[in-house]
Structure 1
Amino acid sequence: MHRRPVLAALAAAALPRRGIAQATDFPSRAVTMVVAFPPGGQGDVVARPVAAGLERLWRQPVPVVNRPGAAGEVGNAAVARAAPDGHTLLMGLSSLAVIPEAARLFGRQPAYELDQFAPIALFTADPTFLAVPASAPWQTLEEFLADAKRRPGQIAYSSSGNYGALHVPMAMLTTAAGLDLLHVPFQGGGPALTALLSGQVMALASGPGPITPHLRSGAVRVLASWGARRIPGFESVPTLQERGFATAEYYIWAGAFAPAGTPAPLRESLRQGMAAVARDPDVQRALAAAGNGLDYRDGEAFDAFLRTDTARLVQAVQRIGKVE
Structure 2
Amino acid sequence: MIARRSLAVAGFGIGLAPAFLRAQSWTPNGPIRVVVPFPAGGTTDVLARLYAQRLTETMGVSVVVENRGGAGGSIGADVVAKAAPDGQTLLFHNLTFSTTTAAMEHAGRAPHSIERDFAPITVGANVPMMLLVARDVPVTNLREFAAWAKTQPTPPFYGSTGPGSTMNLVGEVLKRDGGFAMEHVPFRGAAPLVQDMLAGRIQFGGDQLSSSLQNMRSGALKPVATLSATRATAMPQVPTVREQGFPNAELQGWNGYFAPARTPEPILARLQAEIAAASRHPSLAARIVELGAEPGGNSRAEFTQQVHSQVAAVRPLVQALNLRVE
TM-score of the two chains, using structure 1 as the length reference? 0.88
**Residues 115-135 of structure 1: per-residue CA shift (max 9 Å, x gap):** 210010012233321111233
Name 1:171's counterpart in structure 2: 172
Matches within 5 A, 1:272-287: 272-287=273-288
Hey, what's the Cα distance between the residues in 1 that align with 2:40 and 2:128?
A: 20
My pick for the range that moved more, 85-94 or 139-148, is 139-148
The question of whether the paired residues in 1 share the 8 Å contact of 2:100 and 2:166 is answered with: no
Report deviation, 1:159.
1.0
Name 1:292's counterpart in structure 2: 293
Hey, what's the Cα distance between the residues in 2 that align with 1:47 and 1:57?
A: 15
Name 1:32's counterpart in structure 2: 33
The question of whether the paired residues in 2 share the 8 Å contact of 1:120 and 1:271 is answered with: yes
My pick for the range that moved more, 169-178 or 36-45, is 169-178
The question of whether the paired residues in 2 share the 8 Å contact of 1:122 and 1:256 is answered with: yes
1:112 partner letter: H
Hey, what's the Cα distance between the residues in 1 that align with 2:180 and 2:242?
A: 16
**Residues 134-183 of structure 1: per-residue CA shift (max 9 Å, x gap):** 33221232321111112265211111001113322222222221221111
The question of whether the paired residues in 1 share the 8 Å contact of 2:41 and 2:191 is answered with: yes
Report deviation, 1:19.
9.3
Hey, what's the Cα distance between the residues in 2 that align with 1:152 and 1:169?
A: 23
Name 1:48's counterpart in structure 2: 49
My pick for the range that moved more, 112-121 or 299-308, is 299-308
Q: In percent, how many aligned pairs have the same letter?
A: 31
The question of whether the paired residues in 2 share the 8 Å contact of 1:210 and 1:291 is answered with: no
Moved over 3 A (4+): 16-23
Name 1:105's counterpart in structure 2: 106
Hey, what's the Cα distance between the residues in 2 that align with 1:100 and 1:307?
A: 11
Hey, what's the Cα distance between the residues in 2 that align with 1:138 and 1:128?
A: 19
**Residues 212-268 of structure 1: per-residue CA shift (max 9 Å, x gap):** 121233211211112222222423211121222221201231100011111111111
The question of whether the paired residues in 1 share the 8 Å contact of 2:122 and 2:296 is answered with: no
Report deviation, 1:21.
4.9
- Secondary structure of the residue aligned to 1:250 is coil
My pick for the range that moved more, 218-227 or 20-29, is 20-29
Name 1:270's counterpart in structure 2: 271
Distance 1:194 1:289, change over 3 A: same
Name 1:301's counterpart in structure 2: 302
Hey, what's the Cα distance between the residues in 2 that align with 1:141 and 1:98?
A: 22
The question of whether the paired residues in 1 share the 8 Å contact of 2:135 and 2:200 is answered with: no
Hey, what's the Cα distance between the residues in 2 that align with 1:219 and 1:297?
A: 35
- Secondary structure of the residue aligned to 2:258 is strand
Hey, what's the Cα distance between the residues in 2 that align with 1:281 and 1:68?
A: 31
Distance 1:256 1:33, change over 3 A: same
Distance 1:315 1:124, change over 3 A: farther
Hey, what's the Cα distance between the residues in 2 that align with 1:126 and 1:286?
A: 13
The question of whether the paired residues in 2 share the 8 Å contact of 1:93 and 1:165 is answered with: no
Report deviation, 1:65.
0.2
Hey, what's the Cα distance between the residues in 2 that align with 1:268 and 1:152?
A: 56
Hey, what's the Cα distance between the residues in 2 that align with 1:150 and 1:39?
A: 37
The question of whether the paired residues in 2 share the 8 Å contact of 1:176 and 1:248 is answered with: no
2:279 partner letter: A
Name 1:126's counterpart in structure 2: 127
The question of whether the paired residues in 2 share the 8 Å contact of 1:222 and 1:237 is answered with: yes
Report deviation, 1:61.
0.9
Name 1:158's counterpart in structure 2: 159
2:79 partner letter: A
Hey, what's the Cα distance between the residues in 1 that align with 2:150 and 2:176?
A: 13
Name 1:142's counterpart in structure 2: 143
Structure 2 unmatched ranges of 5 or more: 1-13
1:266 partner letter: I
Query: What RMSD, in angstroms, separates the aligned Cα atoms of the two structures?
Result: 2.2
Distance 1:235 1:18, change over 3 A: closer
Name 1:59's counterpart in structure 2: 60
Hey, what's the Cα distance between the residues in 2 that align with 1:161 and 1:125?
A: 22
Distance 1:22 1:143, change over 3 A: closer
Hey, what's the Cα distance between the residues in 2 that align with 1:19 and 1:74?
A: 35
Name 1:9's counterpart in structure 2: none
Hey, what's the Cα distance between the residues in 2 that align with 1:267 and 1:173?
A: 38
Distance 1:83 1:144, change over 3 A: same
Report deviation, 1:36.
0.6
Number of aligned residue pairs: give it. 310
Hey, what's the Cα distance between the residues in 1 that align with 2:113 and 2:59?
A: 30
